[in-house]
């Protein structure tokens, strides 16, 4: 019998990332890690063959920790993507009255996704950041004051919490895009995406336009374009692009080579199959 695949994920159990990992490979041995950097390290060192991390939410936007690691860390590539619906629950210790709640715990992304609900229903409650939505439930259960947590239905079961409300996110539908990281990306399938980043050594008029024209002239669709501060100096940015196609496709390879020749920083994060049913 072969050894089961080991898949690291941003844990602990009870997070939406665990749900994504279970959806991706229910037969794999899942290994939780306390942060995204640890998931990347597990893949790079061989502790796990693959790692599942969130990269983008339809309400709060990109997950900066994941993007920063893709930009800075070598040794991992995106092999797959998944999009999961996110349904946030308000959890409390059994018997806690709603009017007594003085603090709400959750991951900063979840707090942001439920901002309007919290402002309307708990305007005086202290919002406290936890390492994950599952850790938030653990923090809430150990709190010395009446508290609530924003987490998953599974976390409520794991920690014995009571569900006070479901679907408390500000916008419906609410989806999060997850990526599977590995030491190699995916072979071409004919329906692929490629993610990459680049930056310029100096700012000149028309530089970004010249890059975008390399793709437009080859009829390559750009699914996503965004920028992040380079963290080197004020006003210097790194551009991140998702395009439709595989980096081995000749038109994509030609365009990427042209971009690289103009760039001070250039890195392909990987090519992978487009998620079926995804709007990205």
pLDDT for 280 equals: 40
pLDDT at 1: 44
Q: Confirm or reject CATH 3.30.70.260 for domain 192-272, answering yes or no.
A: yes
CB-based burial label for 101 (10 Å; 0-12, 13-18, 19+): buried
Cβ atoms of residues 84 and 23 within 8 Å: yes
Q: Where are the domains of the chain?
A: 6-86+174-182, 89-166, 192-272
Distances (CA, A) of 165 to 91, 120, 152, 183: 7, 14, 11, 41
pTM of the complete model: 0.86
- Other beta carbons within 10 angstroms of residue 66's beta carbon come to 22
* Share of the chain residues as helix, strand and coil, in percent rounded to the nearest 5: 30, 35, 35
Note whether 6-86+174-182 and 192-272 share their fold.
no
Q: What is the pLDDT of residue 76?
A: 97
Rounded alpha-carbon distances, angstroms, from residue 99 to 96, 122, 148, 229, 252: 9, 9, 11, 42, 57
Which residues is 194 bridged to in the sheet?
243, 271
Query: Residue 186's pLDDT is what?
Result: 98
Tokens linked to 78: 């995106």
Whether 262 contacts 200, CB under 8 Å: yes
The pLDDT of residue 279 is 41
CATH superfamily, with its number, for domain 89-166: Periplasmic binding protein-like II (3.40.190.10)
Q: For residue 171, what are its two tokens?
A: 């916008």
pLDDT confidence of residue 235: 74
The pLDDT value given to residue 277: 65
Could you report the average pLDDT of every consecutive run of 10 residues in the chain (280 residues)?
A: 82 93 95 95 97 93 93 94 95 97 96 96 97 94 97 93 96 93 97 97 86 96 93 85 98 97 95 76
Chosen CATH of 6-86+174-182 out of 3.50.50.60, 2.40.50.100, 3.40.190.10, 3.40.50.970: 3.40.190.10
The pLDDT assigned to 94 comes to 97
């Amino acid at each position: 019998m072969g050894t089961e695949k080991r898949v690291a994920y941003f844990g602990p159990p009870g997070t939406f990332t665990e749900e994504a990992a279970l959806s991706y490979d229910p037969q794999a041995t899942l290994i939780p890690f306390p942060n995204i950097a640890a998931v990347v390290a597990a893949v790079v060192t061989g502790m796990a063959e693959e790692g599942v991390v969130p990269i983008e939410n339809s309400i709060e936007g990109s997950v900066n920790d994941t993007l920063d690691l893709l930009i800075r860390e070598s040794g991992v590539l995106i092999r797959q993507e998944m999009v999961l619906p996110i349904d946030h629950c308000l959890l409390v210790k059994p018997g806690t009255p709603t009017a007594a709640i003085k603090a709400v715990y959750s991951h900063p992304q979840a707090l942001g996704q439920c901002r309007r609900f919290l402002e309307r229903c708990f305007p005086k409650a202290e919002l406290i950041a936890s390492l994950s939505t599952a850790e938030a439930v653990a923090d809430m259960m150990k709190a010395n004051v009446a508290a609530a947590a924003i987490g998953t239905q599974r976390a409520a079961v794991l920690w014995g919490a009571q569900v006070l409300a479901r679907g408390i996110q500000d916008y419906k539908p609410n989806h999060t895009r997850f990526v599977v990281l590995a030491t190699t990306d995916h072979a071409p399938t004919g329906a692929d995406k490629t993610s990459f980043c680049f930056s310029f050594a100096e700012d000149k008029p028309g530089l970004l336009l010249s890059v975008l024209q390399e793709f437009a002239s080859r009829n390559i669709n750009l699914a996503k374009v965004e920028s992040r501060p380079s963290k080197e100096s004020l006003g210097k940015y790194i551009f991140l692009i998702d395009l439709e196609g595989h980096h081995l496709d000749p038109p994509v390879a030609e365009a990427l080579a042209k971009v690289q020749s103009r760039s001070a920083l250039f890195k392909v994060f990987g090519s992978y199959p487009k998620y079926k049913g995804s709007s990205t």
